[in-house]
Chain A
């Protein structure tokens, strides 16, 4: 048995590793190289310019503006999504307490669980188009609702004061469902006796959530944090389809800037690669930080 172990491992590992190197690692390395050139993307000619692209980036107000928006997303999207996700998951798993003993969700849990997951089933493109219509300034659901209660509706995506928050709301809406399911799954792995003990001690729901559920779910929350942080640094598809960074760059994010520089209003592939490289290091640092800061002792159930 031991005899044939290494050929077998090699047969299974080498092809995927090779594919990974060719299609993931090599484009990465090449992007680093391209970011030090003035390549314009439609000829094979590219002159090395050293760090000129990065110097230009440093002085590019539009890039800084996009980064600022990404920073706000990074500060708000993970927190709000996780808080909402935890809240909904708690309600679905242990919200219903009235009457008999035992830990159950609120009435209609199965229905809610399905409904929350809907956005996850839809393609991001569909979500963007759907919400674009919801935000339609004269016929949109939101406008009609605001007008119905006698308030003047803003132009939502057409106004720099509201557009960014409208997009942020869609980001949270489209993500929450997945984390409800993720947290829900983690919660069902927590032994019921713990909750029963807590209930006997007379803790209310908030205390249970704070002192028992979250500590026991910490690993999952941490992973959610990393995922959402990466999402917040990206946000490209939603922004590009809903506002394309406008009005007046108020919803611009770094991914849109990169795309626009290469494929949109210009063909500066060298400069766009420099933006990509910066984005790579930002994402990497954010992920490492998120994992480091959240490090805690693990709790074994058995």
Chain B
């Protein structure tokens, strides 16, 4: 054996090793089988125990260890063990939900509660179409833990159930309530004497003023440009009414090319044309763009209400971030200026093959109790889907403005769910189109064409299960 042989052979080994990384994904499909249900834990239902929890059954909870951390979950688990002292809770937290749990789903031994969130989130379309999730309907009709005379359903904010429902079945409990809007610093605006504009024309005039003052009016997460799809779609919905969103969610032909979407895209193109976006934004990720915004390099940014806690360590004192709805296009808008996108987020689920399904549902009942929700809001500065749970809780400035915006929006609030139904459509296809549009490489018509092409490719893909959103 000489040097050449050795090198050649190692080269051959390397050759075999590379694609193996991907092929490893192919672990056993043969295993598992239908052994769920057989040895699952069930207790007797009673008034005290409406879900029939076996009080000594262990409960395994897997938490996404992201912006909210895991401490809040341990508090909920303590509340659970207060009720069922004999139950042993197995808590774990990870950032890689899909990679950690995929083999266990295949094997038929998933945990009882999964917080399916973050970049490693498992695509819900795949989970739902494989019947991997337990129906949570029973939870909604169970009495609330600490609001007397109300069922859990009656304690939730509007829209909370719809977001987690697939073809009428409530499968995913989204715990937080997130508001999506346009953010600015109250301090910066007060110092300069600017006021947030309620109409698009005024917004453009304000952008001109801001730019003249030497500050970029806008910045955005160029690496994740889908953040900018939110204000565009919101503008369109406010102009054309909620059916604009329903059409997009239901993958209707030309939904992205509706008049309302055209009007909105044309309007937003103005900030690109007039160079109202911070130089270099297309190369920034969400964290970098938000930090530039916190440093006062840009006046506006589009984000959800997690922004304040995500930026907590870099926000200067007295910055006082405020969320506002997107400006109205004109007097003919179907929804008033105050209408804002609010939706339940941070998904939790109970796998269908979990050993302790009843315990999982009961754990959700604990989370959705007023005490559990208040504790969460206090710990992580985020709203929950439990109505009125912020009463008596002191909120940080930004979250206070979120509550105010929600109150003002009231029944005019709107939402879309295509991102839950078809993760790829928002994460890949609309995302790429937004990147082209907001960096000025394509115009509004091509932008909508590219989004429509993405939606059509999902609609035509027979391997993707389709869901219909009720009006």
A-to-B contact residues, CB < 8 Å: 24, 27-28, 30-31, 33-35, 37-46, 56, 135-138, 143, 155-160, 219-220, 223, 226-227, 230, 233-234, 236, 243-244, 246-249, 255, 258-260, 262-269, 271-273, 275-277, 279-280, 283-284, 287, 291, 298
Contacts and interface: CB of A to CB of B under 8 A. Distances in A.
A230 B126 contact: no
Interface residues of B, number: 65
Contacts of B30: 44
Contacts of A279: 19, 22
B222 A158 contact: yes
B311 interface: no
Interface stretch (B128-136, B149-157, B379-387): B128-136
B15 A265 contact: no
Contact of A280 (B3, B19, B25, B126): B19
A90 B436 CA distance: 45
Contacts, number: 195
A222 to B, nearest CB: 9
A230 B25 contact: no
A283 B283 CA distance: 32
User: Which 7 residue pairs spanning A and B have beta carbons closest together?
Assistant: A158-B283, A137-B280, A267-B126, A158-B282, A137-B283, A265-B424, A44-B32
A46 to B, nearest CB: 5
Q: Among B26, B125, B423, which residue has the most Cβ atoms of chain A within 10 A?
A: B26
11 contacts: A35-B26, A40-B129, A41-B126, A43-B32, A159-B282, A247-B222, A247-B439, A255-B21, A265-B428, A266-B126, A280-B23
A155 B283 contact: yes
B213 interface: no
Q: Counting chain A CB atoms within 10 Å of each CB, which of B21, B132, B431 scores highest? A: B21
Contact of B11 (A258, A287, A298): A287
Interface string B416-442: 000000011001100111011001010
Contacts of A46: 29
B283 A159 contact: yes
Interface of B: 3-4, 7-8, 11-12, 14-16, 18-33, 98-99, 102, 105-106, 108, 120, 122-123, 125-127, 129-132, 222-223, 225, 279-284, 288, 292, 423-424, 427-428, 431-433, 435-436, 439, 441, 463-464
Given A43-B132, A275-B22, A155 B282 contact: yes
A30 B269 CA distance: 50
A47 to B, nearest CB: 11
A181 to B, nearest CB: 14
Contacts of B28: 30
Contact of B106 (A24, A42, A143): A42
Contacts of A268: 126, 463
A287 B15 contact: yes
Contacts of B21: 236, 255
Contacts of A258: 22, 25
Given A227-B14, A283-B15, 11 more contacts: A28-B23, A41-B105, A42-B132, A136-B284, A158-B280, A219-B7, A247-B222, A247-B432, A248-B435, A269-B26, A277-B23
A111 B25 CA distance: 43
Given A158-B280, A226-B11, A287-B15, A42 B126 contact: yes
Contacts of A266: 123, 125-126, 423-424, 464
Nearest to A49: B463
B435 A247 contact: yes
Given A223-B8, A230-B14, A234-B18, A160 B122 contact: no
Nearest to B124: A267
A45 B284 CA distance: 41
A156 B223 CA distance: 12
A42 B32 contact: no
A182 to B, nearest CB: 9
Contacts of A272: 22, 25
A175 to B, nearest CB: 13
Nearest to B123: A267
A35 B25 CA distance: 11
Contacts of B32: 43-44
B434 to A, nearest CB: 10
A273 B29 contact: no
A276 B25 contact: yes
Contact of B432 (A136, A249, A264): A249
B359 to A, nearest CB: 21
Nearest to A33: B26
Contacts of B284: 136-138, 158
Contacts of A255: 21-22
A266 B130 CA distance: 13
A274 B351 CA distance: 28
Nearest to A61: B457
A262 B282 contact: no
A247 B282 contact: yes
Contacts of A247: 222-223, 225, 282, 432, 435-436, 439
Contact of B26 (A30, A243, A263): A30
Contacts of A264: 427
A155 B4 CA distance: 44
A275 B23 CA distance: 9
B25 A263 contact: yes
Contacts of B123: 265-267
B26 A298 contact: no
B7 A283 contact: no
Nearest to B284: A137
A219 B463 contact: no
B292 A138 contact: yes
Given A263-B25, A265-B427, A42 B11 contact: no
Contacts of A44: 29-33, 106, 108
Contacts of B464: 266
Contacts of B22: 31, 255, 258-259, 262, 272-273, 275-276, 279
